[in-house]
Structures are given as C-alpha cells and as structure tokens.
Amino acid sequence: MNEYDYIIVGSGIAGLYTALLAKEQGSVLILTKGSIDECNTKHAQGGIAAAIGHGDSAELHYRDTIAAGDGLCDPEAVRILVEEAPDRISDLINFSVPFDTQDGEIALAREAAHSVPRILHAGGDATGERIEVTLSNMAILAKIGIMEHFLATEIIVEDGTVSGVRALDCQTGSIEEFGCKSVIIATGGMGRLFRFTTNPDIATGDGIALAYNAGAEIADMEFFQFHPTALRLPGMPPFLISEAVRGEGGILRNTEGRQFMFDYSPQGELAPRDIVARGILFEMRKTHSGRVFLDVTHLPPHKVSARFPSIYHFCQEHGLDMTKSPIPVAPAAHYMMGGVKTNAWGETNIAGLFAAGETACTGVHGANRLASNSLLEVLIFAKRIVQRSKEEGWRCDTSKGEHYSLSERGASGTVPPLSLAALQSLMWDKVGIVRCGEGLEEAASILASGQQTLEMLCDRPSYELSSLILSGRLMAEAALAREESRGAHFRTDFPESSADWLRHIVFRKGD
Ligand code: FAD
Ligand code: SIN
C-alpha cells in the first residue's frame, strides 16, 4: 500500500490550495472523482470578499458576516476569517491569480449584505475559473500526485486515528487503498440534492458521508442557501446570474414588470440572500409564474458586457440580449452552510482527519453565508490546517453543540428504491426554500426508506446517490428538529426566530 503524509480528497480550490501548501511539509496525493477541473470552484462568478479597500476594515467585514449568519456564527472563526483575509489574498496574488484592476488598483465590487464594495474578481465574472486554472497548473507543475477518476469511498480509522483512504477507481471498478498520516476532505457541496441547482454534477455530499461514516461530527445541516437568481429557461439547467449584477444596479421585476423587493426588505435587491430568495418565491406564487425578471436594461450596455462577459455571452447563446430586455430568473439550490464540524484549525473530532472548503462547517457562516465569503473561508482554513498538521498531538474540542442521532423510521410495506430524480424533487418540494413540519416528516421517512433500499454500491452513480440520500436525511432531520425560522431555514409552522434556538444541531453516527 502506498503511504503519504497527506491525502487530499477533491481538486477544487480547497483541495488544490491545501495541496500546494502541504507539499512544503511532506508527500501529498490528491484523489478526485472526475477530471481535475470538475468542481464548484470553476463556476464561481462574483469573487472573493476581503476588507482591502479604502473605507473598509476587518471590523466592518466582521459585522456584515455576523449579521448575515443570524445569531449562529462562531465569533472566533469569523474574527480569524476577516483578519487573515488580506494576507491570504496576497498569497493568491503571489500565485499569479489575475484579479481585475481599475486605475492600477484591485477593483472591488459590491454584493448583497456587504456594507461596502469588497469583492475581488477576475475575468469579470470568471473568478472561479481563473482561480481553478491557476491552482491546477501550479499543482501539475509542482508534480503533486493527482489521481483523477478516483472516488473516495471510506476513511480508514484505526484506534481513533486516521490511517488512510479507500477509493473506487471509476475506470476499472476496483477498490484501492492508500495509507497516510492526515486526510483532508475537500469534496465541496451537495447542490445536486435539489431539482434546481447552480451546482455541477460533482456536488453530491460525498464528504458528509465519508466523515459521518468514519464517526466525525456533522453540524448545521438545516442551513442550505438558495441563490435568488439563476437563469430559468424551459428544459435547461439553471445558470447562475451573479449577485454582483444586482450589486451593479440590477432590478428584480415580477411578471407584471413591477419592482417588488422593497415590499420584502428596506434593502431591496441588496437584502441578504435568504430574504431575496424568499421574496422571489412569494412573488412567483402571487403572480402564478415560475420566474421573475432581472432587469439591467437601464445600465450602459458596454458596462454590462465588459463586467459580466460570461453571463452576457451565455444569455446571447440562448437568444437573450440582457442589455435590451430583462432576463427570466428564479432561485436555485446553491451552497451548504453546514457540514463536517471543525475547529479553527480545520480539525474534526477524529485525529488526523481535517475538512476544508464547502464540505466543512468552520462556524463562519452560521445560518446564512455572506456572499463571496466561501472562497475566502477556504484560503483561511486550508492554511491553518497545514500549519496545524505540522504540530504534534491533537486538540479538537467537540463540546460545542447539541448531539442528535438519526431516528429510526420504519418503512410500511415494500418501498421501491429512491431514484436521483425522485430524491431531487422530494428535497426541492419538502426541504427547500420554505419548509413545514409535515413536509419535513414525510421527507425524513422517505429518505430513511431510501437508505434501506439502496442497491449495491459498485460505481460512481451508486456511491453518489448513497451520499446524497444520507446528506438529505441529515438535512431533513435537522430542519425538523429546529422549530423556528432563522437565516436560510424558514418554516411556515414556526415563522419566527426563537432565543431558545441559539444553538447548533450536531449529528454523530451511533450517538
Ligand atoms: P469544489 O470546488 O466543489 O471541489 C470539490 C472537489 O471534490 C471536486 O474536485 C470533486 O470532484 C471532488 N470530490 C467530491 N467528492 C469526491 C469523492 N468522493 N472522491 C474524490 N473526489 C471527490 N463562492 C464565493 O465565495 N464567491 C463566488 O463568487 C461564488 N460563486 C459561485 C457560483 C456558483 C455557480 C457556485 C456553484 C458556487 C459559487 N460559490 C462562490 C461557492 C464556491 O464556489 C464554493 O463553495 C467553493 O468553490 C467550494 O470549493 P471546494 O474546493 O470546497 O469544492
Ligand atoms: C454570485 O456571484 O452571486 C455567487 C457569489 C457567492 O455564492 O458567494
């Protein structure tokens, strides 16, 4: 069996950035289930938040992040995030990530719920693609071992300490074993749980399943973010229309042409994401329509096409000229706030097991992520993981949060296996933007039966479906337990926030 100092699962920004830092400390292997650039990172549009502009400060960034998190951010983690941000941005600049500039200075854009312009971007709205290409080229040049089409299926833990990873070779179907001292799970999100999502196919919650099955803690699963504006065209998967478009002055109109967001928030189009997503949903219901419209026709056309080249061209390819007429949009599943619980050093409750990126729950996002804080979170905590892994001993404090277990739910009669399409519709309808106890109960039962009827795991689709069903179950059970509304979690039967619920829900297998 091959032995490494670090095995990193995933090749998005979290996997690649951690690998580039870890290679200075020892041998590194990246396992990734598709080709190197299949990830959420490549699709990021808006950019990275960091308080580097005139008139901005770590304190302002801290306050905006805490406000968006709606009472559940970990203040220590947020402090680390905002204070270490400028140094990590310098690291990316040193890695030659080509951030856009204006008058010789880094250009900063505005996004919802940020009190000042603080979003760095690259290639206009191609930030993620520029980062992914830069980091993957560097990893290849640095000769880091990268095994594409290897899907991690199990974290091997011996006597409470990580000792390796089992992975499916997706091309031959064989299971291989790799030994190591540290595993970093960097497997991204789980947007594919839902019928409408901005996420690519890889986002199937594998990291949650790997960590949960290894005995790690999983926190805040009820908090999933829906992006307000994804292009909604019949028969086409949603395509993100960046929040930065509203930051530049884009207006949301209903099918009757009326600007409606001020009916829902004094911040209008720039209210936090959960408020805008719900506002759009309610407006769609009122107007009996499956969409609203995003209007930028009042902005100078050359500004729109230069600032948002990818969005502009995508719309053109689909017969829409966004500079001439408003484009149809609707909310779509976007980002997982919860995940594998870590401390401020990216450590889980298992010695040698770390989590980074969207799959991790570091505590910075609380109940709702502030736009463009996720790419930043990766940089901050990846660096800390590598620092921590150099030190002897292990010191993860797992005492915060309330432990829950997946309740037994018996299936009545013979239940057919749960297909991916049925799962995605169930999650969208019952565990989506607006939830209620009855729907969550129904979803939790169907998901529990779905776990029991899973067919043998033998290839990538079967492993992915299994990870999605487990992730969906954790989400539905957490949403059912949280009898209040907060941040991205909204229940019609408990529409208010409750001070009793200023706490976290944490799952651990066997609890
Ligand atoms: P990913 O980039 O998704 O990478 C995960 C990797 O893990 C992939 O390589 C995948 O193949 C691999 N993998 C998964 N499971 C396995 C397995 N079992 N075995 C092996 N490999 C596996 N955030 C911002 O801050 N700013 C933005 O502007 C922004 N825009 C966004 C736009 C879109 C359309 C989307 C979808 C997200 C956006 N986000 C943005 C969120 C942000 O892009 C992601 O949170 C971030 O890129 C996640 O990085 P990651 O490395 O954790 O995961
Ligand atoms: C966007 O560009 O709207 C996405 C930003 C994010 O998800 O942080």
Per-residue pLDDT of the chain (511 residues; tens, 9 = 90+): 789 999 999 999 999 999 999 999 999 999 999 999 999 999 999 999 999 999 999 999 999 999 999 999 999 999 999 999 999 999 999 999 999 999 999 999 999 899 999 999 999 999 999 999 999 999 999 999 999 999 999 999 999 999 999 999 999 999 999 999 999 999 999 999 999 999 999 999 999 999 999 999 999 999 999 999 999 999 999 999 999 999 999 999 999 999 999 999 999 999 989 999 999 999 999 999 999 999 999 999 999 999 999 999 999 999 999 999 999 999 999 999 999 999 999 999 999 999 999 999 999 999 999 999 999 999 999 999 999 998 877 666 665 678 888 877 866 667 789 999 999 999 999 999 999 999 999 999 999 999 999 989 999 999 999 999 999 999 999 999 999 999 999 999 999 999 999 999 999 998 7
Both 407 and 500 in one domain: the answer is yes
* Domain finish residue from 333, 358, 389: 333
Q: How far apart are CA 338 and CA 193, in angstroms?
A: 14
CA 111 / ligand 2 centre spacing (Å): 8
The ligand minimizing its distance to the Cα of 199 is: 1
**Which residue out of 110, 130, 246, 273 is catalytically annotated?**
273
The pLDDT of residue 414 = 75
Ligand 1 touching residue 41 (CB < 6 A):
yes
- CATH code, domain carrying 499: 1.20.58.100
Helices and strands, counts by H and E, the chain: 13, 22
C-alpha triplet 393, 396, 401: angle, nearest 5°: 170
Q: How far apart are CA 303 and CA 313, in angstroms?
A: 14
Contact 358, 14 (CB under 8 A): yes
Both 503 and 406 in one domain: the answer is yes
Ligand 2 touching residue 374 (CB < 6 A):
yes
Query: How many residues are given for the chain?
Result: 511
The ligand minimizing its distance to the Cα of 277 is: 2
Per DSSP, 96 falls in state T
The ligand minimizing its distance to the Cα of 270 is: 2
| Ligand 1: residue whose CA is nearest its atom 24 | 372
Residue 273 is among the residues annotated as catalytic for this protein = yes
Note whether residue 433 is domain-resident: yes
Contact 371, 473 (CB under 8 A): no
Torsion of CA 161, 14, 428, 503, to 10 degrees: 60
Note whether residue 213 is domain-resident: no
CA 47 / ligand 2 centre spacing (Å): 7
Produce one character per residue of 5-18: b if its CB has 16 or more CB atoms within 10 Å, e if not.
ebbbbbbbbbbbbb
The residues, any chain, with a CB within 8 Å of residue 508's CB and separated by 6 or more, are 212, 215, 216, 217, 218, 349, 403, 405
CA 188 / ligand 1 centre spacing (Å): 4
* Domain finish residue from 283, 315, 333: 333
As beta bridge partners, residue 489 has 486
The pLDDT of residue 399 = 59
Both 233 and 310 in one domain: the answer is yes
Both 328 and 242 in one domain: the answer is yes
CA 365 / ligand 2 centre spacing (Å): 14
Ligand 2 touching residue 377 (CB < 6 A):
no
> Can you give the residue range of the structural domain that contains 422?
402-507
| Domains identified in the chain, total number | 2
At 353, the amino acid letter reads L
Note whether residue 189 is domain-resident: no
Ligand 1 atom nearest to 197, measured from its CA: 36
| Ligand 1: residue whose CA is nearest its atom 36 | 199
The pLDDT of residue 394 = 66
Note whether residue 412 is domain-resident: yes
Ligand 2 touching residue 229 (CB < 6 A):
no
Note whether residue 182 is domain-resident: no
Contact 340, 207 (CB under 8 A): yes
Task: State both tokens at 89.
Answer: 């941005």
Mutate to test the pocket of ligand 1, among 20, 38, 39, 150 (most ligand atoms within 8 A of CB): 39
* Domain finish residue from 284, 311, 333: 333
The pLDDT of residue 53 = 96
Note whether residue 328 is domain-resident: yes
Note whether residue 413 is domain-resident: yes
Note whether residue 299 is domain-resident: yes
CA 45 / ligand 2 centre spacing (Å): 6
